[in-house]
Amino acid sequence: MVFTIGSMREMRADRSGMRNAARIAMLSGARTGARRRTHASACSSVAQYTGLFGWAVRPGARAARGGSACSCGDVRCARPGAHPLSFADEVPAGASAEQAAEAWAQVPGAAVLLPAGRSFDVIDVAEQPGRRALARLERMGLRVGPVLLTPDGRAQFFVAPGAADELPALLYRMGWDDARLDLRCLGPGDHVTAPPSDHGGLGPVRWLREPRTSAREGLSQPPEARLLLGTLAYVSHRARACA
């Protein structure tokens, strides 16, 4: 058999095209597989939050990396990737794994948001002061509830509901009412992003202290805000003073 220069070139081009097609198919399959794993992880987490911990879950918007565009479709969105989807139904506390999976199948790719003001409120501080406060609180033997770390450098401490309304009075009684503190409380109407979701396109949210359950009592209730607030206020004040 005789091969001409033209036929050799065609064979090489065919082989190159086949390799490129295989590579594209492999990458496409990898992306599809990654999406499936992400969806499965979100469904598993939603089922755990609703069924095991007794928290409601709201499907949330997602944002492109860097937080430039929000999946809600509003080009003027003030909080890209950090708010609930207005058209999506909440997955109620107590939902079974099957109910959670069915609900999440309606909103593929949605972020997992937990509403504050029901089972818990959240005290939000800068990450490094939050880490120092957590170490202090645990050395003192105080029970600390779940703590989230956000990709924009915040630590979010879960406390008993009602803290948002009580915060000004608590700070006043502790002598911190006139201090400039990088500290706020999230309550009714607010949401926090929960793992395994990204927050605002900036990166994934992580647990610094995961929710704890016991076989006898189930999920332990978050501590009263007054038990943590003094330490959180102190480390926040020190961080500002040393900045």
φ, ψ at 179 (rounded to 5°): -90, 150
Structural domain includes residue 125: yes
Structural domain includes residue 56: no
* 140 Cβ neighbours under 8 A, 6+ residues apart: 231
Question: Quick check: 242 pLDDT over 70?
Answer: yes
Q: What is the pLDDT of residue 217?
A: 56
Structural domain includes residue 25: no
Structural domain includes residue 183: yes
What mean pLDDT value characterizes the chain? 84
**pTM of structure:** 0.82
Instruction: Report, in angstroms and rounded to the nearest whole number, the Rg of the chain calculated over CA atoms.
Output: 24
Give me the domain span that covers residue 185.
Answer: 116-243
Q: What is the pLDDT of residue 241?
A: 77
Distance CA 232, CA 223 (A): 14
φ, ψ at 118 (rounded to 5°): -115, -85
User: How many domains, the chain?
Assistant: 1
Q: What is the pLDDT of residue 25?
A: 34
Q: What is the pLDDT of residue 18?
A: 38
Structural domain includes residue 46: no
Q: Give whole-number Cα distances, 185 to 21, 23, 90, 124, 189, in Å.
A: 53, 49, 23, 6, 12
Structural domain includes residue 105: no
Structural domain includes residue 122: yes
Residue 232 pLDDT class (50, 70, 90 cuts): very high
φ, ψ at 186 (rounded to 5°): -105, 130
**How do residues 96-121 score in pLDDT, each as one tens digit?**
999 999 999 999 899 999 999 999 99
Q: What is the pLDDT of residue 68?
A: 73
Order of strands across the sheet that contains 154-159: 183-186, 121-126, 154-159, 147-149, 206-209
Structural domain includes residue 96: no
